[in-house]
Amino acid sequence: MLWFVSFTLSWYTLGITAAVELSSIPLRGLTLAIANTGSNLISLLIVFISPYLQNPGYANMGPKIGYICELGRNAYSIHG
């Protein structure tokens, strides 16, 4: 809980602020909508797919799922 509160009050808003401030004034609302929709869709996928990838009855990856998450983050940071 302490981590969540500190993250929300510090780094969490940085992505939203950057997405809005980097776009032109007429497109700020649309840019924010696209950024939030993409973030929510990816979060939804992670929340629903992660348990199936970790459980022994399905993919049985366990903690190795971190490699997939890190690969996605690296690909996004190189592309973005």
Vertex 11 angle, CA 32 and 4, to 5° = 110
Q: Model pTM?
A: 0.56
Q: How is the chain split into domains, by residue range? A: 2-79
- pLDDT tens by residue, 23-63: 788 888 888 888 888 878 878 888 888 888 888 888 888 88
* pLDDT value of residue 43: 80
pLDDT band for 20, please (50, 70, 90 cuts).
confident
Please, where are the H alpha helices in 1-80?
2-9, 12-22, 28-54, 65-79
